[in-house]
Structure 1
Amino acid sequence: MGETLFIRLGNRVDSKIHWLVKTNGHEEIIASGELPNASELTQLTTKAAARDVVTFVPACDVAVKSLTVPGSSQRAIRLAAPYMLEDELAQDVEKLFFAFNEQKQNEQGNNCFLAALEREQLSLWQQWLADADIFCKLMIPDALALPINEEHCTAVMLDEQILMRLSPWQVMSFESNAWPYVVPQLINNSDVDKEIHSYSPLPNMPDNLSVEFLPEELPLAILANHYSTKFNLLQGEFQVKEKRSTTLTNWLWVAGIASFALVLNFALKGAELYQLSNQQAAIEQEVIATYKSAFPETKRVKISTIRSQLKRKLAEVGNSGESAGFLPLLINLEPALASVPEIKPQTLKFDGKRKEVRMQAVAKDYQYFEKLKVALEKAGLTVNLGAQNNQGDQISGSFSITDKSSKGRS
Structure 2
Amino acid sequence: MDTILVVNAGSSSVKFRIYSIENEGMLRQQLKGQIDGIGSRPRLRASGGEGDPLADRAYPIDAVPDLPSAMEIAGAWLRDELCIHPIAVGHRVVHGGPDYDRPIQVDHGVVTRLERFIALAPLHQPHNLAPIRSILANFPALPQVACFDTAFHRTHSAVADHYAIPHGLHAEGVRRYGFHGLSYEYIAKTLPKIAPKIAKERVIVAHLGSGASMCALSGGRSIESTMGFTALDGLPMGTRPGQIDPGVVLYLISEKGMSAANVQNFLYRDCGLKGLSGISNDMRELETSDSFNARLAIDYFVYRIGLNAGMLAAALQGLDAFVFTAGIGENSATIRARVASQLGWLGVSLDQAENARHSRLISGSNSRIPVYIVPTDEELMIAQHTLSLLTKRPTTNARQERAS
- TM-score scaled by length of structure 1: 0.35
Structure of greater relative contact order (alpha carbons < 8 Å, 6+ residues apart): 2
User: Could you say which structure has the higher strand fraction?
Assistant: 1
> Radius of gyration: which is bigger?
1
- TM-score scaled by length of structure 2: 0.35
